């Protein structure tokens, strides 16, 4: 009899052993037709995510990929970095996305002091609650996690702590209710995370280029797995609220590049996980994707330096709705008016 008989096995262990799995009975077939209990049965949403994230296909990458990427980045970036007037140039996913949109909005947004809102606090608190879920023993409820996340963030010496502290009782209750819905959806739709998956929350990634004159940096919401030699195995997951957006995919490609520059082997998969919908959007990482992302970073550095030396260019788009200078921008005002006409906003009934 197998030593596994009569014992529960984590999903990650079962995947590597399994010859067959019945998601309805919660049993996996191991060797010689023997069956063992897999543990709590997964609902269809959890099974879908497990199927998408748990592929056994593991691509391999060449040893010198990291060195070639770093070399080409530094050769391409250095001429621009030498012209940057403010010391070290920091490039985050947000700055990368913004500078590739409207330069004028980017410059105006950078000049505006950040202010917390219920919407921005909601996302941060939800991220923190999920981080606590992954690191905690037992089975806390979504509401337990939300209250713990609020308490921890309020105690931090950051601006969000002051924002939470000044909320009235009704506003705080509304915020808790809203975040609780997001966290409950995550727990209902994402499979239980085994420690054998090597989960890491808020994994920091950074690449110092051109003698530290350019720094690429970010933090991955959740990483699972790890590389085995030249074989890719890690999955990078970014939690998102709201609707899917092309920039979300670009964010994760940027993280895949940073991960490659960090350890030498790219992640196997990147995933945008939409908390409200409980749906993942996945993309396999290839060498071509990494080179394309590297060139996008080079273009961004060129623009980030350029806007310190010339007037920022205007590129009207949907982001005009949230631009701090929209009221004074003729191009943006005209674009929004045209967009509202197409959507029927302001039309007679």
Q: Give 48-83 as a DSSP string.
A: HHHHHH------B--TTHHHHHHHHHHHHHHHHHTT
Sequence ranges of the domains in the chain: 1-41, 118-188
Alpha helices per DSSP H over the chain: 11-17, 44-53, 65-81, 93-99, 103-111, 118-135, 142-155, 159-165, 169-189, 246-263, 287-306, 330-343
Name beta bridge partners: 217: 206
Residue 113 DSSP label:
P
Per-residue pLDDT of the chain (349 residues; tens, 9 = 90+): 333 333 333 434 433 333 234 444 443 333 334 344 445 689 999 998 988 888 767 899 999 999 999 999 999 999 999 999 888 999 999 999 999 999 999 999 999 888 899 988 999 999 999 999 998 888 899 999 999 999 999 998 778 999 999 999 999 999 999 999 999 999 999 999 988 999 999 989 999 999 999 999 999 999 999 999 999 999 999 998 878 888 899 999 999 999 999 999 999 999 999 988 888 999 999 999 999 999 999 999 999 999 999 999 999 988 898 899 988 998 888 988 888 776 654 444 4
Q: How far apart, in Å, do the first and last CA atoms of the chain sit?
A: 74
Q: Note the pTM of the prediction, 2 decimals.
A: 0.84
**How are beta strands 35-37 and 27-29 bridged, if at all?**
antiparallel
Sign of CA dihedral 289, 295, 298, 302: negative
């Amino acid at each position: 009899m197998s030593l596994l008989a009569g014992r529960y096995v984590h999903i990650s262990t079962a995947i590597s052993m399994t010859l067959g799995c019945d998601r309805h009975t919660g049993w996996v077939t191991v060797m010689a037709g023997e069956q063992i209990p897999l543990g709590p049965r997964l609902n269809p949403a959890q099974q879908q995510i497990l199927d998408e994230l748990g592929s056994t296909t593991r691509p391999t990458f060449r040893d010198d990929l990291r060195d070639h990427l770093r070399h080409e980045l530094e050769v391409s970036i250095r001429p621009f970095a030498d012209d940057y007037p403010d010391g070290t140039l920091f490039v985050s996913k947000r700055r990368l996305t913004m500078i590739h949109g409207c330069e004028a909005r980017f410059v105006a947004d950078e000049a505006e002091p950040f202010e917390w809102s219920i919407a921005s606090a909601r996302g941060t608190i939800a991220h923190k609650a999920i981080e606590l879920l992954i690191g905690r023993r037992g089975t806390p409820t979504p509401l337990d996690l939300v209250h713990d996340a609020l308490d921890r963030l309020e105690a931090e010496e950051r601006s969000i702590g002051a924002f939470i502290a000044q909320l009235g009782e009704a506003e705080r209750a509304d915020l808790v209710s809203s975040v609780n819905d997001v966290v409950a959806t995550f727990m209902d739709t994402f499979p239980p995370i085994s420690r054998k998956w090597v989960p890491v929350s808020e994994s920091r990634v950074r690449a110092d280029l051109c003698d530290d004159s350019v720094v690429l940096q970010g933090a991955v919401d959740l990483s699972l797995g790890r590389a085995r030699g030249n074989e890719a195995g890690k999955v990078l997951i970014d939690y998102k609220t709201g609707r899917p957006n092309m920039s979300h995919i670009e964010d994760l490609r940027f993280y895949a590049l940073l991960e490659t520059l960090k350890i030498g082997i790219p992640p196997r998969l990147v995933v945008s996980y939409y908390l409200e919908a409980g749906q993942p959007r996945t993309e396999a990482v290839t060498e071509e994707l990494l080179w394309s992302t590297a060139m996008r970073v080079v273009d961004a550095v060129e623009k980030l330096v350029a806007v310190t030396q010339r007037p920022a260019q205007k590129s009207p788009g949907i982001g005009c709705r949230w631009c701090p200078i929209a009221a004074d921008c003729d191009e943006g005002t005209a674009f929004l008016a045209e967009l509202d006409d197409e959507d029927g906003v302001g039309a007679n009934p």
